[in-house]
Amino acid sequence: MTSSATPAAAEGGGRAGPAADVGRWFATATRKPLDAPGPARGGPRRQAWGPMEGADYGRRSPADEVDAALALLRDRPVAVLTGAGMSTGSGLPDYRGREAVPRSPMTYQEFIGHDLARRRYWARSTVGWEQFRRARPGPAHRLLAALHATAFPNTAVITQNVDGLHAAAGSDPVVDLHGRLDRVRCQQCDALSSRTALHQRMLSMNPQLAARLPELAAEAAQAPDGDAEVDRTSSFRYPPCPLCGGILKPDVVFFGESARREVVGAAFAALEAADALLVLGSSLTVQSGLRFVRAARRQDQPVVILNDGPTRADAEATLRLHGRLEEVLARWVHAAGAPLP
């Protein structure tokens, strides 16, 4: 997942005011809290994510290539696949951009199997939740929504992000491939509930943390993974599911977990209904997104990829564009004769 699930002049986006670094919420808990005795606890450590070594960030494709890509997509149904670079303009950092903070993602097995991992996750996300909720659609979200009505109809925006910003900007339909952070799902009875309601409940269960929320949020925004004071709050309390007593988990796909079958089915149906695939702001590092590029190529659909920095599917793109998302999308909106949002 990315921030956008889980995982900056990042994968294509600009930057607005800072929101919450959601990726840090999902950082592994295998590192022992600094004030805890004994060996580190938690699940197996994954390789750290961060900027790609030797990657050529900051390139800009020439105007004729940008215009050729729009001509390829124009007036045909397009499936759009987006990644974390779409939301860097809303202040949500990514995993692979040139200014991304290296981190080892928490796995589903770690979260489910280790109380320490759940305490660390919920403590971090409680500190950052109000900040995250203030994130609003950025220029790239709004420009993409404008393109749907002018340059090309979309069969769906299939997003790897978990922030809900595409829907807030007016894109429709949106397939939240990796889920939504504003929802919580019980791992036993599958009941969905509101993250906002859970936030208030956890504040009431942890009054000392609640009293210091702004201070802890400021510190957590600056400290490296595992070094913020909130990470050492091993006494943090979190509730079980009120219906069955099961483990509550954010309704997003963790590393080591599969996306829900019905969601994947909706994404592939959107691709089947399209005549082309447009990829925006994703390095396509994980198979969850890469498979749609490969499926499009098997269906002989043209694939246009726009990202700042390399992607895993560069060799499979019909047209590969480099640059900032908002600059390229603004050029396309202007060429389509629509007012800039």
Catalytic residues: 178
Q: From residue 33, how far is each of 46, 125, 130, 224, 322 by CA, in Å?
A: 18, 17, 24, 13, 41
Q: How far apart are CA 101 and CA 78, in angstroms?
A: 33
Summary count for the chain: helices (H), strands (E): 12, 9
Q: How far apart are CA 75 and CA 262, in angstroms?
A: 29
Helix (H) or strand (E) holding 277: strand 276-280
141 token code pair: 């979200």
Detail the DSSP E strand segments found in 74-230. Answer: 78-82, 154-159, 174-176, 179-186, 192-194
Q: How far apart are CA 106 and CA 112, in angstroms?
A: 10
Q: How far apart are CA 174 and CA 164, in angstroms?
A: 9
CB atoms under 10 Å from CB of 133, counted, come to 16
**Is 305 strand, coil or helix?**
strand
Percentages of the chain per state (helix, strand, coil), in multiples of 5: 40, 15, 50
